[in-house]
Structure 1
């Protein structure tokens, strides 16, 4: 195992600005974890890793034919009866695409039909968000790169006993399949590795999405749409700046920072592996987005403020619309913090993805960021009205005290 640790003093700056960049950085040589941490994670700066970083992955050999296209017959043989989520790229569903569940072998039959006819006008279906690792935990398709190993989100789900879930996905789609303009869940980071095929990405830095929304605040669905040039529909679109466009080649891995809105197209038949993740370098972004989402919920139902347990109803709606409420966020922080406190007390590293070892300085950095989040949570007056907290013997105050003791 390789230890992920910084020999430098811990940087406790919680508001490191996103770098302004005019081109997409490409990393062709191995860099230290510390260099990636300082220059990309803390600065919230995107980049692409060359195909050499994934060359040893099992998926790069098993899932690809000798001529470099998806080996769909291998998937039928190995996983054909798996239930997989499939999006219809031609059917808009709110701000996303309509989804259905297919047997993998039936989706592959559809895909083979496209290949046989070479007809681009057929229904365009895209297999998205397949929880492959959860379904086949012993398969070993890939090893998460060390740069993405400090992954609180998947660490949280890995140790939970009440619900089985994760944010580790496989995507498979024919040429022309695509994902609409969006920023990632919880304003998390994401990484996406092309096992085979090529993708086109368009990015806008955090905050620029405000110019790409209609008068009702809804972001553009397709960034290539001619509607964007219609000032009656998108009156501030001309003010958007910082657009970056990049082609991701076979084997390359793209790092998507927090809050960067993006849209993705498959330029060829493509298979990719993707993770969403949070850690100490972007947890403050996730907290602020959670607060912003709650403010939006409260505004939307302000006419019902006299209802019984209005605070609780807002938390319920927050969980539905955002994917996490205040109690879940606290449980997430507590799970991550207690594992680090335990490792520090026992003077042992924290193992991530069974490969990488999180060192002492890194764990202290993590705890400092969790400390900040807990202080923000406790300063939010709405916490007093949330029954889950009043009944919880493991109150945030106790965890904050424990962390403060460790850090001091």
Structure 2
């Protein structure tokens, strides 16, 4: 117990559980006690070390070996990653981009960083600057560069901390002047996003011997370049769909969250790599100072620092990987699994199928596609053919696609077969591992559509994958034709704004299609808006001068390959709903039975059907004059902003002056529903009748939160 309780990894984990600025004290036990303010009580502990004879542990010995092993003679290059001095852009795109890695030896020859980015010079120039540290704790840890350099010299960690800072341009902006993006990688579709919205894309990397990046695929299926300024790095790479031995991929069937379990880089090379058959080994190379390696989209890679290293890396989206990046943003989990684990993700298929497909083998110019593994369901594991004591598996629910005799390909046509057709961008959960947020993705595609008009064919394909734009555009065309609106121009094909539903601007009209939350929520969304407009009209509220005019509203139904529209003004229950969405109407006698009060009751429901159905509520309004505030915010003076705020304040007051819609008759089932919810959780003896619905809704939300936290 004494030995295990003094293990450095234990104290390291304890220390890193506390976020903030870190200063290493020579051992993780000392550092942890210091960070926890326990050092003064335990000064004597550092001097007393107990020794025990006769205790042996192979596990602890192997760890000790990994902590103290030297890698000066660990470099290796199997010649499968080509080395080129430089390439023209045409050569790069035709031979390497999206196809295979390549080492470029002269891209950084003229960079000031080639001479300035040594440990000594960086410490001199930026010693007091804190940089972000990469580690497995969820806490954000920073270290001043001088303290980190001291840590590198003192530490004997199995998996040393290393600087992996995506914000180095903010903490040390002068570093950006020491390098430039190589000419081969300057196209980046994320460049058009606002800086605070674009995903992390560049990192300063500093690490000691034995540190490195374990097996992974770059986020969002982006491509990457990495330039080494000093030291040496050993790289291992596998093509897309080829899960490395010792690695397990988990994909959540709820939200597509991707999690990869992998040993550390050093542990993989020492424990897994020696057991691989020759044909199972990865592409390998040793990167030298001044060299730049290109890693294509979807490629697995693992990096091990053979000595103290300094590097800079950037991820990017270009014409070659754009569709893959968009595919990875699509809702669902099947396609995410196949993009990363290939045929391991498909029931009944194995990598043996790939052995009989020579054209695919030659495409990668590498024989390691013959790995004999197959995917097993649930928590079962598949092992490499040599029975390495590690597992490689993909865990996620059944895939309903039948592939027949097809073999794995990273071609977008093949991968898109695994999209779950019933999942829709607007009504599905957004994966937390996606590179950007759901609304940011729509705004990004919209900007690309406007600013890169010469690439609209490609952008359209990507938008169809990511946000089902082809489906919503077909709906838009039918609604426009039905109401004799001008047909949408090329500039108007993509939805605008960052709201929760697809919204199109066609000429001077705004077409909103309700999709968020499934049919139940979208029907009540339209019903509530129509009820609001009716209330404003009846009361003669001043709001009438500040809200758009309604031109049309109703339902768009897709049946037997044909679209048709059904008008609806919010009054009564449309017959078309009965077929797709059976409603229990609690306000049947209300003028707006699917309005505010019915929506509140829907919100109290414990479960909601969000599956996509071939019927969508819609509304057409006249476009208001003006511009989106976010677009002009930086051009407004302080006086103009205050005037705007004052005007909005007046309209907010007008909104709150509106009375709630009146309900004359409430069904018995409504009252029974409320009473059941009241009696189940709280005492409402002192709750006024008009507040009972609000309290019931809050209680339902509390239950949902408790359930979510319990599952988490």
TM-score (norm 1): 0.65
Provide the C-alpha distance between the structure 2 equivalents of 1:111 and 1:330, rounded to a whole number of angstroms: 43
Alignment partner, residue 206 of structure 2: 172
d(CA) in 2 for partners of 1:135 and 1:164?
A: 18
Does 2:177 match 1:140? yes
- 5+ residue gaps, structure 2, are 1-77, 252-259, 337-394, 399-423, 476-497, 513-712
Q: Contact 2:328–2:434 at 8 Å: present in 1 too?
A: no
Change (3 A) 1:375 1:267: same
Partner of 1:38: 94
Matched, 1:226 2:265: no
Pairing 1:329–2:462 present? no
Residue equivalent to 2:452? 340
Partner of 2:231: 197
**What is the match of residue 149 of structure 2?**
111
Tell me the SS of whatever aligns to 1:36.
helix
Report the Cα offset of residue 129 of structure 1.
3.0
**1:47 matched to 2:102:** yes
Matches within 5 A, 1:310-329: 314-316=428-430, 318=431, 320-329=432-441
Query: Which structure is larger by alpha-carbon Rg, 1 or 2?
Result: 2
Q: Given that residues 85 and 101 in structure 1 are in contact (C-alpha distance below 8 angstroms), is that contact kept between their aligned partners in structure 2? A: yes
Structure 1, unmatched stretches of 5+, are 1-20, 65-69, 231-236, 303-309, 342-363, 398-408
Residues 87 and 128 in structure 1, CA contact (< 8 A), matched pair in contact too: yes
For residue 292 of structure 1, report the CA deviation from its aligned partner.
6.5
Aligned residue in 2 for 1:361: none
**SS of aligned partner of 1:388:** coil
Q: CA offset at residue 130 of structure 1?
A: 3.3
Q: Which whole-Å CA distance do the structure 2 matches of 1:211 and 1:151 have between them? A: 32
Whether the 8 Å contact between 2:505 and 2:511 is mirrored in structure 1 is: no
Distance 2:318 2:334 in 1: 24
2:241 counterpart residue number: 207
Alignment partners' CA distance in 2, 1:161 and 1:127: 22
Counterparts of residues 344-359 of structure 1 (less than 5 Å):
none
- Separation in structure 2 between the aligned mates of residue 396 and residue 180 of structure 1, nearest angstrom: 48
Q: Which residue of 2 aligns with 1:102?
A: 142
Asked whether the 8 Å contact 1:201–1:247 carries over to 2, the reply is: yes
What is the distance in 2 between the residues matched to 1:280 and 1:392? 26
Q: Which secondary structure state, in structure 2, belongs to the residue aligned with residue 224 of structure 1?
A: helix
Whether 2:206 is the aligned partner of 1:187: answer no
- Report how far residue 133 of structure 1 moved: 2.9
CA deviation vs aligned residue, 1:25-55 (integer Å, no higher than 9, x gap): 1112x321111111111x42110001x2212
Give me the whole-angstrom Cα distance separating, in 2, the residues matched to 1:264 and 1:161. 28
**Equivalence map 1:143-162=2 (5 Å):** 143-153=180-190, 155-157=191-193, 160=194
Cα separation, 1, equivalents of 2:451 and 2:425: 31
Alignment RMSD, CA only? 4.0
2: CA distance between counterparts of 1:392 and 1:161?
A: 26
What does residue 116 of structure 2 align with?
62
Query: Matched residue of 1:176: which SS?
Result: coil
How many Å separate the matches in 2 of 1:175 and 1:210? 23
Q: Which residue of 2 aligns with 1:403?
A: none
Q: 1:34 to 1:336 in 2, by over 3 A?
A: same
Q: Secondary structure at the match of 1:147?
A: helix
* Deviating more after overlay: 171-180 vs 329-338: 329-338
The answer to which structure, 1 or 2, has the higher relative contact order (CA under 8 A, 6+ apart) is: 1
Counterpart CA distance in 2 for 1:220 and 1:123 is 13
For the 8 Å contact 1:311–1:382, the answer to whether it is kept is no
Is residue 2:396 matched to residue 1:284? no
Task: For 1:121 and 1:184, locate their aligned partners in 2 and report how far apart those are by CA, in whole Å.
Answer: 25
Contact map agreement 1:208 1:240 (CA 8 A) in 2 = no
How far apart in 1 are the matches of 2:292 and 2:441? 29
Q: Structure 1: how far apart are the matches of 2:186 and 2:249?
A: 40
Give the length in aligned residue pairs. Answer: 315
